[in-house]
Chains A and B, each alone.
Chain A
Amino acid sequence: MLEIAARQTQLEQTISKLSSLVITVLIFAALVAAAFWIAERTSERAQRFVKYLIFLVPALLFLFVGLIGPAIRTLYLSFRDARGQNFVGWENYQWAFTQPEILDVLKNTGIWMVVAPIASTGFGLTIAVLTDRMRRPGLVKSLIFMPMAISFVGAGIIWKFVYQFQPNDRVAEIGLLSQIAEWLGFVPTNWILTAPLNTFLLIVVFVWIQTGFAMVVLSAAIKAIPDEILEASMLDGASGWKRFTKVTVPMIRGTIIVVLSTITIGALKVFDIIRTMTGGNFKTSVIANEMYNQSFRALNYGTGSALAIILFIGVLPLVAYNVMHLRRERAER
């Protein structure tokens, strides 16, 4: 009986969710259609103004309410106390740079920023060069690229299973890493609890995802190298390695830097992997995770905001570089 009732409510909820979804989409479509219908019937004089109202104002409004306004307010909150009621000066920042736990967090973030981009770009470049010399690289590229479609949460579960450790000696290992360690004659440990190794194990998950991104972008850059240059270097008798270091890498230097900086930005903001795999425990926390904990667990908006600002300052030069690079590229076109 109980089960039937549960099924019943499940069915009801399903129907109500799907219908509200359809209704929402219809309402939105109707709104847009109505705006167009009215706008097209206004006079030409009025349209000069109406066209901005319909095409540009919604986006600007969303950007202001969702990004610019909140960013300014976060800056303000970072100088206030936990509830945002009193001015506390630099206290929150002082806290961030003196608390031992937070210093650990900043140190981990630093490790992420250095190791993750270099490893992802290195693997990505290697695979891009290798597949460039394959006749049918399609499947290999797809397989390397596939993790990009997988969520950090899903990837976290996949790799948590790889790192699984059985503390009981009589039970067979079910985690691949533990089993490989055993095959190689090592004694497996509880990997995910062992600092500082665990931070690197979490970075592996991120690299596993980002390598596909690096590969695709670098692969396109390698393909764009003029063929005459490669042919010339071949006629000169340059070996494969020499061609790679003396021709390929210098030719795609700009792209490599953009890939590095893009992945560094991602590494700075990493949150889901940490939260899924360790919850930030065992000395693995990073700044984005700590920001969430301070803001929404400890409910301290002051320290949470200060961490967000520190994150912002870390990202700023990288994004600025990418924007400038893009501007230059457009100017050249």
Chain B
Amino acid sequence: MRILKFTKGREVEAVKVHLSSPWASFAAILLATLWTIPTFGLFVTSFRPSTGINGSGWWTVLTNPEFTLENYSRVLFEGRGATPPLSQYFLNTLAIVIPSTIIPITIAIFAAYAIAWFDFKGRNFLFFSIFALQVIPLQMSLIPLLQLFSGGLHLGSVTIIPSFGITGTFIPIWLAHTMFGLPLAIFLLHNFIAQLPRELIEAARVDGADYFKLFRQIVLPLSIPAIASFAIFQFLWVWNDLLVALTFGGGKREIAPLMVRLAEMTGTRGGDWELLTAGAFVSIMVPVLVFFALQRYFVRGLLAGSVKG
């Protein structure tokens, strides 16, 4: 798809000034405010004491300001019975997100490079087949993958893949995220790598660089922007995922990420708004910071290949 043109000529600016209207600005600002109010309400509520939260709406804080950090310290550091505090789930999320971002990107950039620059028949066909794999919804893989991870693969009495006993560890979650992330990753990275200047690649080949050196010294360093773009996607996707962690985590508390815990809390403790709002804010904070810091890359990735299937 077309890449955004960020800079435009002077005449265009002139037209834009002519076109810009105070009414449009007013309506846009109104909508943006409307869009932000729910998040703002959560944010304010998470700092109010529980009596305040349950006694009056968050919009009354203007007349009755009363704030506390207790909700955060309670939800983050106080466990309840066998349930660990949220800080432990935060760590689980980190333990899931980091490998689940690094592994698919590595494998995808390898494949993207091979499809873009190796000379073999059916390259184009392979590329579009991989892209077309996005048709397969995650849901179609859940049951068979779960069976594979827990029981291995058998044909009759012959074991083709053993189970390795990885159930209950982070490994099935990493593997699942890797598998589900690959089609989009290969697609996005291939679009970028295929556009590297041909002369550059051929010159390096003439100089005697083999395909491995070529990758290390030229392709990889030049691909950093594309990698960053996809890394943000995958990071946000894995951080915010519930379904994969729920299915492949097997409900084990020791490896469950934030989202699984929060979904559980809304079910069982739907009335504890002081804990829920603080917990939700903890889970939202990291992706929103990443998003604001790297928005430009994120938008670029979005425009390059729509969204994940």
Give me the interface of A with B, judged by CB distance under 8 Å.
6, 10, 13-14, 17-18, 20-21, 24-25, 28, 32, 36, 39-40, 44, 47, 51-52, 54-56, 58-60, 62-63, 65-71, 73-74, 77, 123, 126-127, 129-135, 137, 139-140, 142-154, 156-162, 164, 171-176, 179, 208, 211, 213, 216-217, 220-221, 223-224, 227, 230-231, 234, 240, 258, 262, 265-266, 268-269, 271-272, 275-277, 279, 288, 291-292, 295-296, 301, 304-305, 307-309, 311-312, 315-316, 319-320, 322-323, 326-327, 329
6 CB < 8 A contacts A-B: A56-B115, A66-B180, A67-B179, A151-B259, A176-B57, A308-B140
Give every chain A residue within 8 A of B79 (Cβ-Cβ): 6, 10
| Residue B216 interfacial (CB < 8 Å) | yes
Give every chain B residue within 8 A of A40 (Cβ-Cβ): 210, 212-213
6 more CB-based (< 8 A) A-B contacts, given A40-B213, A231-B15, A327-B128? A13-B254, A28-B106, A146-B291, A269-B137, A292-B142, A295-B143
Give every chain A residue within 8 A of B180 (Cβ-Cβ): 66-67
| Residue B131 interfacial (CB < 8 Å) | yes
Contact of B239 among A151, A175, A312, A322 (CB under 8 A): A151
Give me the interface of B with A, judged by CB distance under 8 Å.
1-2, 4-5, 8, 11-12, 15-21, 24-25, 27-29, 31-33, 35-39, 41-42, 45, 53-59, 77, 79, 84-85, 87-88, 91-92, 94-95, 98-99, 102-103, 106-108, 110-111, 113-115, 118, 120, 128, 130-145, 148, 170, 175-176, 178-180, 182-183, 186, 210-213, 215-216, 236, 239-243, 246-247, 254, 259, 262-263, 266-267, 270, 273, 276-277, 279-280, 283-284, 287-288, 290-292, 295, 299, 302-303, 306-307, 309
Give every chain B residue within 8 A of A148 (Cβ-Cβ): 291
Contact B110 A162 (CB under 8 A): no
Contact B276 A162 (CB under 8 A): no
Considering the chains assembled together, what is the distance between the CA atoms of A80 and B57 in angstroms? 52
Beyond A67-B136, A77-B144, A174-B56, is A142–B295 a contact (Cβ under 8 Å)? yes
Contact B267 A319 (CB under 8 A): no
Considering the chains assembled together, what is the distance between the CA atoms of A130 and B263 in angstroms? 36
Considering the chains assembled together, what is the distance between the CA atoms of A100 and B131 in angstroms? 37
Considering the chains assembled together, what is the distance between the CA atoms of A223 and B8 in angstroms? 10
A122 to chain B, nearest CB (A): 12
Give every chain A residue within 8 A of B306 (Cβ-Cβ): 217, 258, 262, 322
A149 to chain B, nearest CB (A): 4
Beyond A59-B110, A216-B299, is A161–B307 a contact (Cβ under 8 Å)? no
B246 to chain A, nearest CB (A): 8
Contact of A149 among B77, B178, B211, B291 (CB under 8 A): B291
Contact of B12 among A129, A227, A269, A291 (CB under 8 A): A227
Using CB atoms, name the residue of chain A closest to B281: A154
Considering the chains assembled together, what is the distance between the CA atoms of A129 and B287 in angstroms? 27
A64 to chain B, nearest CB (A): 9
Contact of A140 among B29, B92, B130, B280 (CB under 8 A): B29
B140 to chain A, nearest CB (A): 5
Contact A139 B32 (CB under 8 A): yes
Contact A55 B118 (CB under 8 A): yes
Using CB atoms, name the residue of chain A closest to B35: A144
Give every chain B residue within 8 A of A265 (Cβ-Cβ): 309
Contact A275 B263 (CB under 8 A): yes
A274 to chain B, nearest CB (A): 11
Beyond A56-B110, A319-B132, is A161–B42 a contact (Cβ under 8 Å)? yes
Contact B287 A323 (CB under 8 A): no
Contact B302 A149 (CB under 8 A): no
Contact A154 B135 (CB under 8 A): no
Contact A59 B259 (CB under 8 A): no
Contact A208 B35 (CB under 8 A): yes
Contact B134 A319 (CB under 8 A): yes
Beyond A161-B42, A217-B302, is A63–B277 a contact (Cβ under 8 Å)? no
Give every chain A residue within 8 A of B92 (Cβ-Cβ): 17
Give every chain B residue within 8 A of A77 (Cβ-Cβ): 143-144
Give every chain A residue within 8 A of B135 (Cβ-Cβ): 312, 315-316, 319-320
Considering the chains assembled together, what is the distance between the CA atoms of A304 and B141 in angstroms? 11
Give every chain A residue within 8 A of B59 (Cβ-Cβ): 176, 179
Contact B247 A296 (CB under 8 A): yes
Contact A153 B212 (CB under 8 A): no
Considering the chains assembled together, what is the distance between the CA atoms of A210 and B97 in angstroms? 23
Give every chain B residue within 8 A of A60 (Cβ-Cβ): 111
Contact A304 B88 (CB under 8 A): no
Contact A153 B102 (CB under 8 A): no
